[in-house]
Amino acid sequence: MSAEVISGTELAKDIRTELKKEVKVLNEQNINPHLTVIIVGDDPASHSYVKGKKKASAEIGISSEIINLPEDTSETYLLEKVNELNNNINVHGILVQLPLPKQINEQKIIEAISPKKDVDGFHPVNVGNMILGNDTFLSCTPYGIITMLKSKDIEITGKHAVVIGRSNIVGKPVGQLLLNESATVTYCHSKTKDLSKHTLDADILVVAIGKEHVIKAEHVKKDAVVIDVGVNRTKEGKLTGDVDFESVKEVASYITPVPKGVGPMTITMLLKNTIKAAKQIGK
């Protein structure tokens, strides 16, 4: 039997309907959730992501502003801009779109954002709180993945979760959140020997590599849950994942598609974090 497809688009739609109601309640208390996004340079993919975030915010009543800065922006200028936003009581969420141009140290910028407004969940304070299992801003893609698993009542406790990828924004935090949910977690990466040995033992397989169709049916255990985080462009210009959807869906019990899988959930969790920040910061 073919796997059940977990639609990120459908789930995101349901969650956004609820979030819209939360925004209304906040508005009645004179709290108007506001997200400010800074984008540096002209990278078309980054601009497209930012546009998506603005549109999704507007749809649920979150006001947002995009600050466009030129490619040659200095680190000092960007730090000043972030500091201004930290001190602006009308701004609840701050997001600096990554990657940044070479002259800017990304980590320095991430650490300059107030942890209270860090709706991306990248600040070390929020990362530390996530590891400790404290209530905090969870980074959006891992948060979206856990939400997708829970939406289908997929058992995580005691399961073997294998995460391929160890980036700070996806691989590491998603593994940590799965551990927090009592999975037994294995991390794989480019130096892992015999990748299939690990993937074939996974009850939950999260793939965050960034290379087209690395994972095929022969890498997946029967009835595994497969989450495809990858976003790649085919030669024909279409979006596709790290997982060969057509073959893997014949082996897995659940699978996420690309597009319309993890992507829409990532933006939804950003909206959720912005509302959380607005509630905490208030008027």
Q: Which residues pair with 37 in a beta bridge?
A: 66, 95
Least gap, CB of 257 to ligand NAP (angstroms): 11
Distances, alpha carbon 207 to alpha carbons 123, 166, 244, 269, in Å: 24, 10, 11, 19
Q: How many CB atoms lie within 10 A of CB 251?
A: 19
Full strand arrangement of the beta sheet holding 34-40: 63-69, 34-40, 93-96
Chain length of the chain: 283
Q: If binding is defined by CB under 6 A, does position 141 make contact with ligand NAP? A: yes
**61 or 230, CB closer to ligand NAP?**
230
Q: Applying CB under 6 A, what is the total number of residues that bind ligand NAP?
A: 26
Residue 97 annotated among the catalytic residues of the structure: yes
- Of 241, 210, 205, nearest to 226 by C-alpha is 205
Which of 81, 117, 120, 203 does the annotation list as catalytic? Answer: 120
- Given the rule CB under 6 A, which of 65-73, 121-129, 188-196, 215-223 is the region that contacts ligand NAP? 188-196
**CB proximity list for 201: less than 8 A, separation 6 or greater:** 160, 162, 186, 221
Binding mask 223-252 for ligand NAP (x = CB under 6 A): ------xxxx--------------------
Q: If binding is defined by CB under 6 A, does position 263 make contact with ligand NAP? A: yes
For ligand NAP, the binding residues in 38-97 under the rule CB under 6 A are: none
**CB proximity list for 244: less than 8 A, separation 6 or greater:** 213, 215, 216, 217
Q: If binding is defined by CB under 6 A, does position 109 make contact with ligand NAP? A: no
Q: If binding is defined by CB under 6 A, does position 220 make contact with ligand NAP? A: no
**60 or 243, CB closer to ligand NAP?**
243
**177 or 188, CB closer to ligand NAP?**
188
**CB burial class (10 A; 0-12, 13-18, 19+) of residue 192?**
middle
**CB proximity list for 235: less than 8 A, separation 6 or greater:** none
Q: If binding is defined by CB under 6 A, does position 98 make contact with ligand NAP? A: no
Tell me which residues are annotated as active site: 53, 97, 120
Q: Give the interface with ligand NAP as residue ranges (CB under 6 A).
A: 141, 164-167, 169-171, 188-192, 195, 208-211, 214, 229-232, 262-263, 266
